[in-house]
Amino acid sequence: MTSSTSATSVVRSKPNIGVFTNPKHALYIAECEPKAENLTPGPGEVIVQVRATGICGSDIHFQQHGQIGPTMVVRDEHILGHESAGEVIAVHPDVKDLEIGDRVALEPGIPCQNCDECLQGRYHGCPDVQFKSTPPVPGLLRRYLNHPARYCHKIGNMSYEDGALLEPICVSLVGVEHANVGLADPVVICGAGPIGVISAACARAAGAEPLVITDIDQGRLDYAKKFVPGLRTVLVDRSDEPQQVADKIIKTAEMRPKICIECTGMEASISAGIYSLAFAGTIHVVGVGKDFQNIPFMHLSANELTMKYQYRYANAWPKAIRLVNGGLIDVSALITHRFPLEESDKAFNQVGKDGAVKVMIVDGEAK
């Protein structure tokens, strides 16, 4: 590859299509930018042909509810998706560390690189971050896109599907780090969705024992138990009060957990995690929930519990790649359903149904 050829436009026979929603909560597939007939990388950019994209809970929130919190609001036609991997098909001449044909995972948050948060390494807190799929920034769920080379992470021979799953792994491993999970720490994970299951796998890799996971769906619990060796499960009845769920957690763990990683964002689940903890324990909330919630404040206070939160991730992608390449997490086992890009509407309809854990949208070769 030479600089003179890497900067030329790339013409693709297939149109560039993306998966959209809008303020009316529609979900549709349509042509999008950049146009396939003239794909040209700008300075510092590459063109990526996206091969695999996982559907995240936030995608469902944006499509079904139109927003997450008071500021992330769908106000126009909007492309979804931020868990993606693909193949580099064009490179700008000033990009020296990527080549055509490289397999890459796409880090979706593009910070300003100039503010105090960025300069201190907390770029996920950048006030001007352009996070792909968070309105109004269009997402990654399309066939072709321009992306800064700096936020394209080489994945070698890793499958595109595994590469797409690096994004939720980043969420989970940062959660485990922030919660300070250590060897033989008793840990409970609330919620057996994809983030909960991956968090359990990360906690196991960090040495958690005993390790418990909760959910309202027995199928998800059974799947989680297959995914994480030695995982203990708690089935939550929708009529259970938080203290009842806490009692189930304590009984299953045979002790009070030191750490709770809460992956649902639901008020009752957060409260259950709090009630289950040992004195001076920590609850780390990863899940996305309502703007305002009631929590057992005096129980937190009287038991000197620490409550922590998480907003995305920073500096996590190289670690996530090492976790997968080192065999500590086999993320491919999480994928329960696959759909081609042209059938993305069916993929979204599958989320949360019939034992679905992670639904993947693929375009061409995903392996």
Which pLDDT score is estimated for 364?
Answer: 85
Distance CA 145, CA 263 (A): 31
pLDDT over 50 at 1, yes or no? no
Nearest to 196 by CA among 166, 228, 218, 164: 228
Measured in degrees and rounded to the nearest 5, phi and psi for residue 10 equal: -110, 130
**pLDDT grade for 69, boundaries at 50, 70 and 90:** confident
Which pLDDT score is estimated for 290?
Answer: 87
Distance CA 239, CA 182 (A): 33
Which pLDDT score is estimated for 8?
Answer: 61
pLDDT over 80 at 365, yes or no? no
**pLDDT grade for 22, boundaries at 50, 70 and 90:** very high
Q: What is the DSSP letter of 150?
A: G
Mean per-residue pLDDT for 112-140?
97
Mean per-residue pLDDT for 327-337?
88
Distance CA 257, CA 209 (A): 9
pLDDT over 60 at 13, yes or no? yes
Domain segments of the chain as ranges: 17-157+331-362, 171-309
- Percent of the chain clearing pLDDT 90 (strictly above): 88
H helices of the chain, in order, are 3-6, 57-65, 116-119, 160-164, 166-178, 194-206, 218-227, 242-253, 267-276, 297-302, 317-325, 344-350
Nearest to 135 by CA among 83, 76, 84: 76
The topology under which CATH files domain 171-309 is Rossmann fold (3.40.50)
CB 295 within 8 A of CB 273: no
How many Cα atoms sit within 13 Å of 153 on the Cβ side? 26
CB 259 within 8 A of CB 233: no
**pLDDT grade for 4, boundaries at 50, 70 and 90:** very low
Residues written for the chain: 367
Which pLDDT score is estimated for 72?
Answer: 94
Distance CA 198, CA 196 (A): 6
**Amino acid making up residue 104:** V
Q: What is the DSSP letter of 180?
A: T
Nearest to 177 by CA among 58, 310, 59, 343: 310
CB 53 within 8 A of CB 141: yes
Q: Would the CATH topology of 17-157+331-362 be identical to that of 171-309?
A: no
Mean per-residue pLDDT for 109-135?
97
Measured in degrees and rounded to the nearest 5, phi and psi for residue 34 equal: -75, 150
**pLDDT grade for 366, boundaries at 50, 70 and 90:** low
**pLDDT grade for 2, boundaries at 50, 70 and 90:** very low
**pLDDT grade for 359, boundaries at 50, 70 and 90:** very high
Nearest to 108 by CA among 178, 158, 58, 74: 58
Which pLDDT score is estimated for 361?
Answer: 98
Which pLDDT score is estimated for 7?
Answer: 60
Q: Which residue has the higher pLDDT, 329 or 53?
A: 53
**Mean predicted lDDT score pLDDT of the chain:** 94
pLDDT over 90 at 209, yes or no? yes
Nearest to 8 by CA among 47, 57, 60: 47
Distance CA 264, CA 84 (A): 23
pLDDT over 60 at 202, yes or no? yes
Superfamily per CATH, domain 17-157+331-362: Medium-chain alcohol dehydrogenases, catalytic domain (3.90.180.10)
Nearest to 106 by CA among 57, 62, 54, 164: 164
Quick one: the chain helix, strand, coil %, rounded to 5?
30, 25, 45
> pLDDT (tens digit, 9 = 90+) per residue, 214-242?
999 999 999 999 999 999 999 999 999 99
Cis peptide before 210 (omega within 30 of 0): yes
Which pLDDT score is estimated for 6?
Answer: 47
Q: Which residue has the higher pLDDT, 10 or 29?
A: 29
Which pLDDT score is estimated for 289?
Answer: 86
Distance CA 149, CA 23 (A): 32
